[in-house]
Amino acid sequence: MKQALKYGLLITTLSLTVITPTSFAKNVSIQQFWQLQQQQPHIIIDVRTAAEFAEGHLASAINVPYQDIATITARYKDKAHPILLYCKSGRRAEIAATTLEKLGYTAIYNGRNYQQLKKAQPMITP
């Protein structure tokens, strides 16, 4: 009986390990987001709606709503090039990150909150 229980727990644990997806996307702090951008230029993608993007966005960000994120494969072929994502709260960026992971992108960072990122954005001088 104990042996059967032990094997049952082992099988359950292994099956959960296989079912649970591994995430390449990394949630980063606001400071880490800007440090990453300053160290090496990244692709910054605002995954909010076009209307939200029109109301304001980070400098050099492009707008690709989260449900359309798969369309970037035609434009950005290097799947190891770092991508910084953000939205209003981080949820849509997380969904976009999951899609990008499934497409083979490996350097994905979720900066989450637009308003906080905007406040902390370094001044860009010409």
Say which CATH number the domain at 48 has. 3.40.250.10
- Specify if 16 maps to a domain: no
Task: Give the model's pLDDT for residue 24.
Answer: 58
User: Do the Cβ atoms of 90 and 8 come closer than 8 Å?
Assistant: no
pLDDT tens string, the chain, 126 residues long: the values are: 556 545 544 444 444 333 334 445 688 998 888 888 888 878 999 999 999 999 999 988 999 999 999 999 999 999 999 999 999 999 999 999 999 999 999 999 999 999 999 988 876 544
- Specify if 5 maps to a domain: no
Which ranges in 40-90 belong to alpha helices (H)? 50-55
Task: Give the model's pLDDT for residue 37.
Answer: 86
- Specify if 6 maps to a domain: no
Task: Give the model's pLDDT for residue 36.
Answer: 86
User: Do the Cβ atoms of 76 and 106 come closer than 8 Å?
Assistant: no
- Phi, psi of 6, rounded to the nearest 5 degrees: -60, -45
- Specify if 125 maps to a domain: no
3-state DSSP assignment of residue 4 = helix
User: Do the Cβ atoms of 27 and 87 come closer than 8 Å?
Assistant: no
Domain that holds residue 101: 23-120
- Specify if 9 maps to a domain: no
- Specify if 11 maps to a domain: no
Q: The pTM is what?
A: 0.76
Task: Give the model's pLDDT for residue 58.
Answer: 93
Task: Give the model's pLDDT for residue 3.
Answer: 63
Provide the domain count of the chain. 1
Task: Give the model's pLDDT for residue 34.
Answer: 87
